[in-house]
Structure 1
């Protein structure tokens, strides 16, 4: 950080240039206030009933004292200018004191509800926690589901092309099908085979009549005594289906999207 060494003896040449240098250094340091967000509470501003205490806030990167009072919906910035008489006997406005307070000037639209309090944890500690949560995306391995178009993928991210047309399956070391991370498997269709059918049979009925032409037992073959049967006709049912059956789709209802991942080295 820029600085002056005021410890040197001999009478320091203090002038307006020195004052501007100091003010610029303070302004540079104040830029860190932007880390708190556009509208933030740094300290104080404690609610007690319908009132809010004094405190310190950040408004669009500017650190300001907050003058407490009866809680209202909006916050304004109030600036008071002070005139000082210079050595040439000319008055000039040189001192500006700014503070935030409740109020509505008809122009400012800063809502008190939008001011976020900086926790005792601290901004950097909170950033560390966020970075920890995002660590799976720091290398190859983390990916997220994207429902937008490929052209709309955010800058720094890319489609995981190796996952096109595939669903994820959780790793299971006790199941050979799922014991290797990254191994593909499964099929979107299946063709039925004889070994896929459960064992079963079919009753077969033939029309048999006695000498009077009457059907015996509702079209069932009967061997009752004294009944002369004209014929015993047995046969096999005709074949149905296809010798080369078409595969059946086994895909559940779905909505198409894509997996995306950070491009290594971007973030």
Structure 2
């Protein structure tokens, strides 16, 4: 009985030892497997599954070859990644960390939006470019990490967006058709001339354009669709005109001496006209 017990213990120890060597050493694992089974491939000859990044690389400086299987062009690639120029962004001598913090690193090649816009979109203001963009590759345009609307609604409340009157019928309209994803002149980051998606395009209507219209800056005069003011104007009557135009200069010409309480828009079209004074047809 004791002999059988010792045999069982020896068998158990042998099994544990074999298991240990099997998992810890590819060479020993191969030796054990090939002894027991036929047709076991030698170590390091197994085929590797590589990501389909539509890129085929050549021999690198370290003489190691990275092979990519290409079936079709599925990915958009960031230029440094496409060129395998990792060192343009990453520091070899510092565990591959980026050479500069974001967005300084991005701004070496891309626009510095803090210098371009008065107000910045949250991710831009917080220097978090990679919240929206992939640093290497993406199947989506502009290297987005998610489809556009899904990406926007990961931060913005979709219900709150749809409750806004102007958004009632947007259906599948892209958010960026009206809003600039990086920033703008106001906290809504509206694209220049995005108002023309719904309103008259005065560029096609008039030969001469009023300054704010010509610059695509509708919000210099008009507020949002939540405003209760007539035509959503941000100021009342001629006070809006005098925000830019000097009232003393206005009353100097003879034709303005007797205007009394007449408003500017009784004679002038605020958007543009067939002449450089934007005079209404009745004049």
Structure with max Cα Rg: 1
Give the structure, 1 or 2, with the largest relative contact order (CA under 8 Å, sep 6 or more). 1
Bigger fraction of residues in helix:
2
Tell me whether the two structures share a fold, i.e. TM-score over 0.5: no
Bigger fraction of residues in strand:
1
TM-score normalised according to structure 1 size: 0.22
TM-score normalised according to structure 2 size: 0.21
